[in-house]
Each structure stands twice: as C-alpha cells, then as structure tokens.
Homo-oligomer: A and B are copies of this chain.
Amino acid sequence: MFPGGEVEPVAGPPAAPAATAVFAAVLTEGPVSRVALARRLGLSSAAVTKAARPLIDRGYLHELAATERTGPGAGRPASPLAVRADREFFLGVKITADELIGVVCDLRAQVRATARRPLTDPGVEAVLTEVNRLADDLLDGFAGDRTRVRRLGLALSGDIDRTTGLVRYSPFLHWRDVSLGRLAAQRTGFTVTVENDVKALTAAEHWFGEGVGAESFALVTVGTGIGCGLVVNGRLVSGSYGVAGEIGHLAVDATGPDCHCGGRGCVESIAGTDAIVAQARDRTGRPDLTIDEAVALARGGHEQVRAVFTRAGSAIGCGIAAVANLVGPTRIVVSGEGLAAYDLFDSHIRASFERQAFGAAARCPLSIRPLPFEEWARGAAAVSIQSLVLP
C-alpha cells in the first residue's frame, strides 16, 4: 500500500484489445482524433474514449494542445491523441560477427543516442558481457530519464524464435539453441526481446517507416546476403520451418552459377557482395580486387565491371518481382549495406522488376534507398516497442 492508500500504479499499458489497437494506431499513424480512430478500427467512438483514458492516465498518450489542433469547417474541433514519446525508452542492439551496434529510442522509435562496441569473441558469455557494457555506454550517452529505460531489443541474423527469445541457429556466431532472451534478461535486468535482424528491420519500417498503414509490405536487404522481411495481412511472416523471405535463394537463372546453398542461379550467387567481387575479379583479372574497388571501377565506366552490377541488379529485380507476384505487397522497400552502390543498381532493379512483375503487381511502389547501419539497431528497438504495445 502507498501512503495515500491507493494501489501501486500498474506498470504497462492496458492489455484490452481495444486499448491495444488504439495505442498501436496512435503510435503508427501519428496524432489522430478519437472519431477517426473509431472509424479506422471499427469501434464506436465511446469505446475509443474509454480505451484512451487509461493510456492517457498512464502517460503513454496525450491530447494535442488546442493550438495544434487541425480542422477547418464547422463543428467542435478534434482533440487528436498523440504519443508521449518520452514516456518510455528502448535499447536496441544489432549483433554482427565483429561488432555490436546500439541505439536508444523513444516510444516513437526516434533515435536518441547511439554507441558501438567491437566483438572479438563470439561465445555466448562474451557477447552477453559486451551487450551489458554496450547498454551501460548507451545509458551514459543518453540525455533523458534513465529510469524510463526498461526494455532491450536484440537483433541478429539467423533462425530465431521471437516468442521465446531462443536463437535456434546463428551461422556467424556458430550458436545453436541459445536462450538469448532469458540470458540477456538475467544479465541486464531489462525485459528483452530477440528477433531476426531482417524481420526486426521490417517491423520497424512497418510501424515507423514507409510501411505504415500497409496491410502487406516487404523489405528487401541487399548486402553479403540478400534477405527479405514480409508483412502479410498486417502480420510478419515467419515461415513454418523457420524459413521465410529467403529471396536470396530464389532461382532466377537456370544457367547461372552454383550457389553455396546447393541451388543454382540463386539471386545471392549473382548479386551478393561476394558474388559481385568474384565476378569483378574474374572480369578484370585482378584476384585481389575489393568490393569498393569494383564499385569505383564501375562508376569510372569500366564496362565489364558495370555489366556485373547490371546483371546483379537484374537478378535482384527478378527476386523482388517474385515477391510482388506471390504476395502482392502494398509497397516494397529495398535497402541494405550493399546499396552503398545504390547508383549502380537502381535502374536495373527497377527495369527488371517492371519486366517481371505480372499485371497490376507492377503498380507496387519500390523505394530503393541506402539505410545507415544504426537502422538495424533501431529495428531491434522497434520490436521491443511492439512487445510493450501488443500483449
């Protein structure tokens, strides 16, 4: 009991379906009036009023000040609901083979601080220790209220069970069946979520980026590997066997090279960074060529190296068209480290996509843009935000 006799205030947002829906809608679709929410969610406006009150009381939402209200026309002006971004903060950490990248985000997924730590030992213990240190670094560099940081999202590539926080398999860390969620929660004291990195990035883009409002949405990442996160009917696609969005191993060229996966003519075996380097070395006869040098040569007009990028762009375009033809997303974002060479890919990806997209699928807008590496960590934080909002 508290001095006044009240019950201790509940920590999280209310879990009722309507409250959850209202919270998520305000979070992703900016300030909205209660009537608009009611229409959007298929609820009565009374239900929205009731669902919103505890969210306001607990500090997650607030009404826009009168001056910020919109609205021409007659009638009582709306009092749109908006998110109180500094109600709670979230740590997001992307784990790569040799580095941890971390961010602190607010409730609107705005990055408030960043930090990095090198990773030398891929052992579970060592990684946990470094994650813990990175969390400290992040809090040190964070200007806001540290007591409001209660959640940590982790993202890494591999086969991950988000609901249990289990890393079933991580190729680059050589982990199998590591309960990363539980271990990290013990070590750091935070509420921890774990998700595959591409899916985390997709979730971030779906809630806070270009995917907002889309019933279905795809994000394609281009780099060493070529991956894809899918949202269909408003939900992230997981794959019954832990495999989904493996756009990198679609076969697009029956006469293409053998791929390390055992297939032939996979997108990744043509357009993955390693494949591009290998082809560029072959065409130039320089066995030590790096990807940066290949990019430089192509930009400099080296026809044969340009052709490598052209072919890669076409393969990626075919893969993206496959996504459009099969699941028909509302829009597709193409991104990733590989897109440092954005200018060399862009037009070929588009041309190939437009050729292979069937009928109206070609109407699907394509955003092709590079993404800073911190975005991956932001993805991890976004998953953590979702875990707060959704019960």
Contact = CB atoms under 8 A, between A and B. Distances in A.
Interface centre among A327, A329, A363 (most CB of B within 10 A): A327
A325 interface: yes
A323 B321 contact: no
A252 B254 contact: yes
Interface residues of A, number: 56
A147 interface: no
B327 A241 contact: no
Given A246-B358, A263-B355, A325-B250, A330 B237 contact: no
A328 B250 contact: no
A325 B248 CA distance: 9
Copies in the complex: 2
A128 interface: no
Contacts of A327: 230, 232, 237, 239, 244, 326-327
Given A232-B327, A322-B322, 16 more contacts: A159-B360, A216-B237, A230-B326, A233-B235, A240-B329, A241-B363, A245-B326, A246-B361, A247-B326, A250-B250, A250-B322, A254-B254, A262-B355, A266-B356, A323-B326, A327-B327
Given A237-B233, A364-B240, A356 B326 contact: no
B361 A328 contact: no
A353 to B, nearest CB: 10
Contacts of A254: 252-256, 265, 314-315, 318
Contacts of A239: 216, 327-328, 361
B237 A328 contact: yes
A243 interface: yes
Interface of A: 159, 214-216, 228, 230, 232-233, 235, 237-256, 261-266, 314-315, 318, 321-330, 355-356, 358-361, 363-364
A240 B215 contact: yes
Nearest to A216: B240
A360 B238 CA distance: 13
Contact of A360 (B241, B245, B355): B241
